[in-house]
Structure 1
Amino acid sequence: MTTRIPRNAKRVFYATESTTRTKPDGEVIRVAGREQRSTTFREARQFLDDLGVPGGVTVWTERSQQTNAYADRRADGSWVALDRLTGNWVPLPEATQEQV
């Protein structure tokens, strides 16, 4: 699924699949897998849910020109979002068909 990002987008969400690899010395490292850019969090969330894999969503904003953590999908399928005020990860409600 490809998403066209408008040139004047104020916000872009990056959904990235998390995978692990084993180095020759036996160390397990976390690496990025498939990725999709979206204009909404809903699309980014749907991408990872459709793959059924753990991953993360980051958001880039035009104003700050920075990319920040936004939400994570855990291996069990649950979602957590970063609360910017406390710095803690808080659970997100399950997506329903109406939300998606």
Structure 2
Amino acid sequence: MATRIPRNAKRVFYATESTTRTKPDGEVIRVAGREQRSTTFREARKFLDDLGVPGGVTVWTERSQQTNSYADRRADGTWVSLNRLTGVWEPLPETIKEVQK
């Protein structure tokens, strides 16, 4: 699925699948697999959920011209995000309805 990113997008979310590979010497390394760019976190989250794989979502912002970690999908299907104030990874709600409660 190709997502069209407008040229004047203020934020771009990058969803990247995490996979592991074994080097010839037996060392296991983490490498990036499939990825998708999208304009909303919801699209990026859906991409990884549909694949059913662990991965991460980073966000690029026009103002800072930097890419930062936004959220991670664990192998068990749970989502966590980094609280920038405390530096602790916190679980994300499963659905938008849980946020509205």
Q: Where on the TM-score scale, by shorter chain, does this alignment land: which range?
A: over 0.9
- Identity across the alignment (%): 88
Number of the residue aligned with 1:79: 79
Number of the residue aligned with 2:54: 54
TM, length-normalised to structure 1 = 0.94
Query: Number of aligned pairs?
Result: 98
Number of the residue aligned with 2:9: 9
Task: Point out the structure with the larger helix share.
Answer: 2
Structure 1 residue 66, shift from structure 2 partner: 0.3
5+ residue gaps, structure 2: none
Report the more deviating stretch, 86-95 or 12-21: 86-95
Name the amino acid aligned to 2:59. Answer: V
Structure 1 residue 95, shift from structure 2 partner: 2.4
TM, length-normalised to structure 2 = 0.93
Is 1:64 equivalent to 2:67 in the alignment?
no
Number of the residue aligned with 2:34: 34
Runs (4+) of structure 1 moved beyond 6 Å?
Answer: none
Number of the residue aligned with 1:94: 94
| Other structure's SS at 2:26 match | coil
RMSD of equivalent CA atoms: 1.4
5+ residue gaps, structure 1: none
Q: Distance in 2 between matches of 1:95 and 1:47?
A: 15
